[in-house]
Structure 1
Amino acid sequence: MNKYMHIGTIILVSVLTGCATKSTTQFEAFEPADLNELVKTGSLVQKTDSFLVLNDSSSSMRTRYEGVGDLRGTKFDVEKNLLNRFNMSIPDIPLSSALRSFGFGPCLDWGATKLNQPLQTYSASSFDSSIRSLECAGGGTPLASAVNASKQDLTSAPGNIAVIVFSDGMDEVSPVPATKALKAKYGDRLCFYSVWVGNKKDVSGKRNLLNMTNIAKCGFSTQTEAIATPQGMAAFVKRVFFKPGTPEVVDNDEDKDGVVDSKDKCPGTPRGAIVDKDGCWAFHGLLFDFDSDKVKSQYDPMIQNAVKVMRLNPKLTVEIQGHTDSIGSDDYNQKLSDRRAKSVKNELVRQGIEGRRMSAVGFGESQPVASNETDEGRAYNRRVTYIRTDK
């Protein structure tokens, strides 16, 4: 008699546990997208402070996964791989995290649901340990029990909360009442997210999960194929934890001329050059008397700067460009600008700079940098500019 009772007990346990099956702890190779730079620059602004994962560890998850992509094994194996990828993709932000599984059997301590990781300060390593604690799947699918238990799990959760369900959604008891109760307790602080890990025959479960997110009126539903890739998982993490922000503008001054790159119209200015407000190595104003190509003596310091720059940068070659305002005919201004450019070149040669390092060309009035309608604008347009030609 004892022998038959023992056999009956084994059969009963097998039925209750759904023949709990062990899962692999070896995850598929994955290279996550790095979201840290988007966080640092303000492109992403954190909106979620705590998250709780509800993982389906029921017997339906021991079925082999039939979806597309690089994930293999049972649906339970796929869940764990997705959780691993999720964990790897979370950037360096302050969070609290928890993980609860649902099913029945020895891996859930013979309960309908088990708190694998109580709410604690999030770290990638501690959450990885909680993922690896999901050792097997068996029993029914008491998602409603897990949702009910979450009310207590989240009591000390700071800030806004994300409840994330990984499941095929094939529940025996509707999780809708439990979801309504959880939402009522935490209100606008709580959003629901679901990831459907199912096969074609489980398609009705997708609707069950969608109903949960609809009740919460905050969050969304997705599925394995959408988040399995680095880009897909990054998009999922962004939507769960962040809202779009206004990027912080970090402006550099690559050529160290005192004009930031976003406003520098002449990048690559050589070392030591005196530049104008546009970052260009140029002389503006009454550099020449009217109808003259002789450089006025008051501009000797500007010529001396050009000599200094050419000597500081022995491999530097430049094109000296002459420009005029719009007073006078096009032909007259073209010839005048040519003479002025050559005059500056000749002055630099006279002071010891090799002529082969410089060319001279005039552009007349064709390239104004200010309005020719004002005296100030016309003075700014009467200029000589040095454009480096060694790059």
Structure 2
Amino acid sequence: MRKIYRPASIFIALITFFTGCAQLASLKKPIGPMESFVPQNLEAESQDVQYVSKIESFVIILDASASMKEEYNGIVNKGHSKFAVAKDILMRMNNTLPEVEVNSAMVTFGHEFLKPLDKTFIVYELTKHSRGLLEGMLNGITIPDGCSPAGNAIKDAKNLLLTSGGQNAVILISDGEQLIGSPLKRVHDLKEMYGERVCLYTIFVGNTVEGEKELQELVRGVPCGFSVTADEIASSENMAEFVKKVFLTAIPKQVSTIDIDTDGDGVYDKDDECPDTPKGAIVDSRGCWVVKGVTFDYKKWDIKEEFNSNLGNIVDILQKNPDMSIRIEGHTDNIGSMAYNIDLSEKRARAVKDYLVGKGIQASRISTVGFGYKNPIAPNDTEAGRALNRRAEIVPIK
């Protein structure tokens, strides 16, 4: 009888061992589709700074063991498998990370019940990162199964980073259950090899307090990094903060020379035809100081009362800048002879001067000149264009 039942006992023991390691549990069908996620656009987050990568390389370690087939009892995508939630969190991270210069690699552990217990799989080695690369690799990962040799995956990450000479990050996403392969020792090996050049970040996608503590303990073994849960970084805002902390540094945007406005009049230098206008001056689209809104009727040079408030801007600037002198330039449309229009434009310039002097500005600070129709700012073939050309401009004299 002993010989008959011994093989059966061994068989039962093996089944018990592998069942405990692989956790071959049947799962309920997911309740519904995965939650939608709209990533925060970090590239357009601020007009003052731009984000660049603060690391040279990162390695993702994804738990693909049997325990990850269990339903996730957290908040984000509750009822789906932990493995599906883990991949979704990585997708959210991937879609939030701007297209910066950084290298990436991926390692998984687990996968198959009949594979060796220490089985890991290098999904792809260190290469230039892109959203499409990581997304494609995540979509191609097989169904989770087998044991959890997290320590061996950390060792793989250490070896993958040998070609990276800068700052690095290792991101481990797991439920923290039944991790084997001496993961804490492997973390210490990581520290021994890279020191402060590597940070470890763990993302807990699990249901047990023990599993969460296991991941937190691993982070303590390296100089930098932290541990978070899937729920804590699931929102667009929180994922953006996670991505910034792990991957990015903000630097002031370099202002293009074509976007410089030296005199602060609202017109970029490349378009500014009058680059020395004083602060507060009202300018037109060319950046030139104009008697805003003041145009003259045909053959007229009188200042209309409706323009008094606009002329007050010039008075105010001259009062604030007592050392400033100005030249008032008169202009006309092209109807009539040049001689006639030169005279008319001079009368318009003097009319503006007379107004300013009447408001207390010293006459010696103001000179006038008339250009007739030499310098149009609009076509003279329409009434609207001709009206714009009947104008007065102000030029500061230093």
State the TM-score, normalizing by the size of structure 1. Answer: 0.63
Query: Retained in 2: the 8 A contact 1:53–1:165?
Result: yes
Q: 2:310 aligns with which of 305, 313, 319?
A: 319
Q: Secondary structure at the match of 1:319?
A: helix
Query: Retained in 2: the 8 A contact 1:179–1:215?
Result: yes
The residue that corresponds to 2:244 in the other structure is 238
Q: Output the CA distance in 2 between the equivalents of 1:100 and 1:68.
A: 26
- 5+ unaligned residues in a row in structure 1: which ranges? 283-301, 327-346, 366-378
The residue that corresponds to 1:372 in the other structure is none
Q: CA deviation at 1:134?
A: 2.5
What do you get for the CA RMSD once the two structures are aligned?
4.8
The residue that corresponds to 2:23 in the other structure is 18
Q: 1:180 aligns with which of 181, 188, 203?
A: 188
Q: Mapping of 1:151-166 within 5 angstroms?
A: 151-166=158-173
Query: Retained in 1: the 8 A contact 2:292–2:310?
Result: no
Q: Are residues 1:212 and 2:215 paired?
A: no
Q: Secondary structure at the match of 2:206?
A: coil
Percent identity of equivalent pairs: 26
- 5+ unaligned residues in a row in structure 2: which ranges? 297-305, 321-343, 367-391
Q: 1:47 aligns with which of 54, 77, 85?
A: 54
Query: Retained in 1: the 8 A contact 2:191–2:198?
Result: yes
Q: Secondary structure at the match of 1:162?
A: strand
The residue that corresponds to 2:278 in the other structure is 277
Q: CA deviation at 1:187?
A: 2.1
Q: Secondary structure at the match of 2:163?
A: coil
Query: Retained in 2: the 8 A contact 1:58–1:104?
Result: yes
Q: CA deviation at 1:16?
A: 5.4
Q: Output the CA distance in 1 between the equivalents of 2:222 and 2:102.
A: 21
Query: Retained in 1: the 8 A contact 2:43–2:50?
Result: no
Number of residue pairs the alignment of both structures matches:
313
Judged with a 3 Å threshold, the aligned counterparts in structure 2 of structure 1 residues 116 and 110 are, in CA distance, closer, same or farther, namely farther
Q: Output the CA distance in 2 between the equivalents of 1:151 and 1:43.
A: 30
Judged with a 3 Å threshold, the aligned counterparts in structure 2 of structure 1 residues 14 and 364 are, in CA distance, closer, same or farther, namely farther
Q: Secondary structure at the match of 1:66?
A: coil
Q: Mapping of 1:220-299 within 5 angstroms?
A: 220-249=226-255, 259-260=261-262, 264=264, 276-278=277-279, 280-281=281-282
Judged with a 3 Å threshold, the aligned counterparts in structure 2 of structure 1 residues 218 and 65 are, in CA distance, closer, same or farther, namely same
The residue that corresponds to 2:92 in the other structure is 85
Judged with a 3 Å threshold, the aligned counterparts in structure 2 of structure 1 residues 20 and 115 are, in CA distance, closer, same or farther, namely farther
Partner AA of 1:127 in structure 2: L
State the TM-score, normalizing by the size of structure 2. Answer: 0.62
Q: Output the CA distance in 1 between the equivalents of 2:115 and 2:106.
A: 13
Q: Are residues 1:119 and 2:120 paired?
A: no
Q: CA deviation at 1:107?
A: 9.3
Q: Secondary structure at the match of 2:311?
A: strand
Q: Output the CA distance in 2 between the equivalents of 1:117 and 1:238.
A: 24
Q: 1:102 aligns with which of 98, 109, 120?
A: 109
Query: Retained in 1: the 8 A contact 2:50–2:252?
Result: yes
Q: Output the CA distance in 1 between the equivalents of 2:189 and 2:26.
A: 32
Partner AA of 2:59 in structure 1: L
Q: Output the CA distance in 2 between the equivalents of 1:20 and 1:117.
A: 29
Q: CA deviation at 1:34?
A: 1.9
Q: CA deviation at 1:231?
A: 1.6
Partner AA of 1:231 in structure 2: E
Q: CA deviation at 1:162?
A: 0.7
Query: Retained in 1: the 8 A contact 2:148–2:178?
Result: yes
Q: Output the CA distance in 1 between the equivalents of 2:219 and 2:156.
A: 18
Q: Output the CA distance in 2 between the equivalents of 1:107 and 1:187.
A: 37
Q: Output the CA distance in 2 between the equivalents of 1:66 and 1:184.
A: 36
Query: Retained in 1: the 8 A contact 2:113–2:147?
Result: no
The residue that corresponds to 2:146 in the other structure is 139
Superposed CA offset, 1:161-199 (max 9, x none): 110010122234452111001221122221111111122
Superposed CA offset, 1:265-310 (max 9, x none): 6789xx977862326149xxxxxxxxxxxxxxxxxxx99x759984
Q: Output the CA distance in 2 between the equivalents of 1:206 and 1:276.
A: 64
Q: CA deviation at 1:89?
A: 1.6
